[in-house]
Every structure is written in C-alpha cells, then in structure tokens.
Amino acid sequence: MSSIPASAVKSSAVSNSSVRSLAQAPAYRITSAGLFVWGKKSALSLTDQALTSGASFAVNLLLARWLPGEAYGAFAVAFAAYLFVTGFYNVLLLEPLSVMGPSRHSANLPSYFLVQVKLHILLTGILSMAALVTGLILWEFMPQSPLLSAILGAGITLPLLLFLWLTRRMCYVVQRPKIAVIGSACYLAFVVMGLFLLQHLGHLDAFAGFLLLGGGSMFSGIILAWLLGLKRDPTGEENVSWRTVLLENWTYGRWLAGGTVLSSVSSQMQTFLVAALLGLSAAGVFRAVQIPMLVMTQVVFAVGPVILPAFSYDFGRGAVRGMRRKATLVSLGLGTAALCFVAFMATFAMPIEHLLFGDKYSAYAGLIWILALIPVAQGFSLGFSMALRASQTPHFDLVANGIAAPVAVISAIVLIRWFGLTGAAISLVAGFVTYSVVTIYVYFFHGEKLTPLNAIQKCGNNS
C-alpha cells in the first residue's frame, strides 16, 4: 500500500489514475483468519490498557482508602484538571499520529516518530508551564489549600506522564501491541511497588502520587522507545520535516481541539462543581465511586488504538465498505458487553464498595451502577466514532461535543443543587449519552458519503 503524499494534501486536484486506483480497490472481506488476528491484537490492546490503567486505578484506589477525605478530594480535582489537559495532547499528537502516520508516512515511520517526540517536548512543556502558573496563583491566594501540592505535582510531572502515552501509541501504529504490553507491565510494577514503599515510609500524598506516576511513565516510555529502535540518525538528517508534521497535526487536530474543550466540560465539570458547591471531600467521594466504572471504560478505550490505524489503512486503500462493517461489529460488541457490566454493577454494588473501600463510601454505593451507564454509551458509539476519524473528518467530534457540553453543564448546575452527588452522576451520564447519540446520527446520515478522494479534497480545502 502506498501512502498519500504530503503534496496531495495541499491541492484539491487529484489525478484520474489516483481516482481509478481508489475505485478499483478490492472490497474487504471479513474472514475467520482476519477476525482471529484482529481479535488477538485487541486482546493484547486490552491487556496493555488494563496494565496501564491498573497503575492509575491503584493510585486512585489506595489514595481514596488511605488519605483523609479533603486530601483525596484535592487529588481528585487535580486529576480531573490533568485529564482536561491530556485531552489536548491526545488530539494534537496521538490522534494525528494514529491517522496520518499509517496513511502518509508509512515509508518513514522511524523519522516520523522522532519528530513527534520533539513535538511532545514542545507541547507538554507549554501545558506544564500553564499548570505550574495555576499552582503559583493558588499559592498566592490559598497557600494552605491541599489543592496546591496536587496541582504542582501534576504540572511538574505532565511531560513524564504523557511520554508513555506517546510511545505506546507508536507501538499500535506499527501494529505491535505486544511491545506496548511490556512497557505497561513495567509501569504497573513500578507504580505499585512505589505506592507501598511510600505508604510504609509515611510519605504518600497527592504530590507523591503524581511524582510516582510520572517517574513510572518515563521509565517505561524509555523502555518502549528502545524496543521500537527509536534513535537519532547519526547523520543528523531528517526524512520528515517537523514543520510538515506540525502542520498535519494542527490541520487534523484543530477540529478535535475545540471538541476536546467541550468534551472535558462534559466529563470533568461535575467534579469541579461538586468541589465548589459541596466541598473537596464530596469531590473525593465522587471520584472514588467512579473507579469501578473506569474498569469497563478502559476496556472500551483499549479497542480504539487497535482499530483506528486499521481503519485508516482500510480508508487509505479505498476499502470503505469493509471499514464500515468493522465499525458496526465493534460498536455492537462493545455496547452489549457494557450492558452486561451495568447488570453486574447493579447487582453487586454494595459488595464491590466494601471490597474496594472497606465501607468508607457505602452511603454512595448506589451511584456505582448509575455511572456504569457511561461505558454503555461509549461502547455503542466507539466503532462509528473511530470510522469517522479514520475518514479524516474529525470535525464531527466538535459537533457532537458542542451539543453534549451544554446538556452536561446545565444538568450539572441544576441537578447537583437538587440531588447532590446523585445529580452529578446523572449529569455525567447525560453528557456521554448525548455525545454518543449525535455521533451515531452523524455516522449513519453523513458518514456513507465519505471516500478517500473526498477526504483528500476536504484536507486540501482546509489547509
């Protein structure tokens, strides 16, 4: 398969031979052998995601158990801010890496990866400075707030925390998820051992939690970079221009950047409003009862890094029909699995809370199954969402989030005042459901019009 040259993006004129080659691309057939390979890679992706998320899960779980309510609430608010920031990183680096890498730079991936590492340093440096400035402002007005150490910890470690995200995504671009599993296993081991050591020494707090996650991420990311063979060309020459990559990332990610702001509003605003209206301790409770739901959410997300490059390859070679079949299969499968998860959470909410938190949050165990509806919405729309992104039409995300964000914010303001944490949970679910409904609508009523030629022309017009 030949990649789409960068020059094609800058012009809407495409040769007749290119059109014929796309039109004559063979239809993709889903075979048992193909499903086996795809299933194996999905299983490796799930393992990788489970190991990486296990580290975050362990930190959140153990801090929720061991720290006082207000201290964990401060960590929860800082962690929500960290997730808000990582949204920009995802759409400006990771998403373009998964889409543009396979379709345009498949012949020069090592050089392309090194350029993305440079952009990682630039982007995370800017985001880290913004977080540190926020921490200094808080220090000036609220020097005794437990939020201070949590925000400073997140700001200092942000470039380290996200380096593992970058190297893991590179593993999926080259279709080698097994390597990503090795790095994630090292990450989990580093974090778990560090947690118990810090607790034993009496130094575990929100700041130490972020330092531990950042150190483990950098250590594991370096291992993955070595296994991928990433090293600078001794001649100092680059086959891929960093300016070209930066332009590609921005051209693709600018549509998603606006959607990311709105998405973060939909998914994180509830935590900030709970902290403001009900206090830091309530924010800690709200974060804690989300932890069981995050297990299924990570299962859903684990499929994304596998299917997005695969969908991009299909789209680039003109196998749109096969990509759409895969999208439907993925969405139905994940949505059905998530419904089973809700049933399990509703049945065993109290025992799960006791197992995880030792009855510390037993009064709020009913929220566990309500929040479990979030991965249901995510699951039923994920395949369709990845197909739209692989089709290089990321502006759909801005539309979906533009509708979901007002629903989430308005419902949060009203429902938190009326129903407290239960209202916050309902508002969170409402935002995700709205996003998924709009995404599915866009896919079925507008997605079938997409072809590789149309995508090239759209990119040319947007450049």
- pLDDT of 339-388, one tens digit each? 999 999 999 999 999 998 988 899 999 999 999 999 999 999 998 988 88
Q: What is the identity of the amino acid at 131? A: A
Helix (H) or strand (E) holding 411: helix 395-419
CB 184 within 8 A of CB 48: yes
Instruction: Tell me the average pLDDT across 84-108.
Output: 82
pLDDT tens across 232-277, in order? 654 445 577 778 888 888 887 776 777 777 888 888 889 999 999 9
Q: Using alpha carbons, list the distances in angstroms from residue 369 to 40, 118, 341.
A: 30, 42, 9
Q: What pLDDT was estimated at residue 339?
A: 95
Q: Is a pLDDT exceeding 60 seen at residue 130? A: yes
pLDDT band, residue 449 (cuts 50/70/90): low
Q: What is the pLDDT of residue 277?
A: 92
pLDDT-derived band at 27 (thresholds 50, 70, 90) equals: very low
pLDDT of 232: 64
pLDDT at position 238 is 57
Mean pLDDT of the chain: 81
Q: Which of 269, 250, 289, 278 minimizes the C-alpha distance to 370? A: 289
Nearest of 401, 407, 405, 358 to residue 381 by alpha carbon: 401
* Long-range CB contacts (within 8 A, 24+) of 189-198: 190/55, 190/215, 190/216, 190/219, 190/220, 191/55, 191/58, 191/59, 191/216, 192/55, 192/58, 195/58, 195/59, 195/62
What pTM did the predictor assign? Answer: 0.72
Phi, psi (degrees; rounded to nearest 5) at 88: -65, -40
Report the distance separating Cα 447 and Cα 331, nearest Å.
15
Percent of the chain residues past pLDDT 70, beyond the cut: 85
399 in Cβ contact with 346 (< 8 Å):
no
> What is the predicted pLDDT for the residue at 425?
96
The answer to whether 63 and 208 have CB atoms below 8 angstroms apart is: no
Per cent of the chain over pLDDT 90 is: 33
Cα dist from 190 to 55, 260, 311, whole Å:
9, 30, 34
Q: Would you say residue 214 has pLDDT above 70?
A: yes
pLDDT value of residue 389: 81
Q: Which residue has the higher pLDDT, 435 or 459?
A: 435
Q: Which of 30-34, 83-87, 444-448 has the least mean pLDDT? A: 30-34
Can you tell me the mean pLDDT for 276-280? 90
Give the residue with greater pLDDT, 29 vs 436.
436
The whole-angstrom separation of Cα 245 and Cα 19 is 25
- The maximal CA–CA distance of the chain, rounded, in angstroms, is 70
CA torsion through residues 316, 322, 324, 330, sign: negative
pLDDT confidence of residue 374: 95
User: Which contiguous run of DSSP H or E holds residue 390?
Assistant: helix 373-390
Q: Any idea which of 3-17, 19-33, 173-187, 320-334 has the lowest mean pLDDT? A: 3-17
Higher pLDDT, 33 or 41: 41
**pLDDT score, position 314:** 77
Is it the case that residue 13 has pLDDT exceeding 60?
Answer: no
For 353, phi then psi, to 5°, come to -65, -40
- pLDDT number for residue 458: 45
Highest mean pLDDT among 1-5, 13-17, 122-126: 122-126
| Residue pointed to by tokens 């995200």 | 165
Q: What is the mean pLDDT of residues 66-90?
A: 86
Arithmetic mean of pLDDT, 84-98: 85
Look at 166 and 141; give whichever has higher pLDDT.
166
Rounded to 10°, the helix 395-419/242-278 angle is 10
Q: Which of 293, 222, 279 is nearest to 69 (CA)?
A: 279
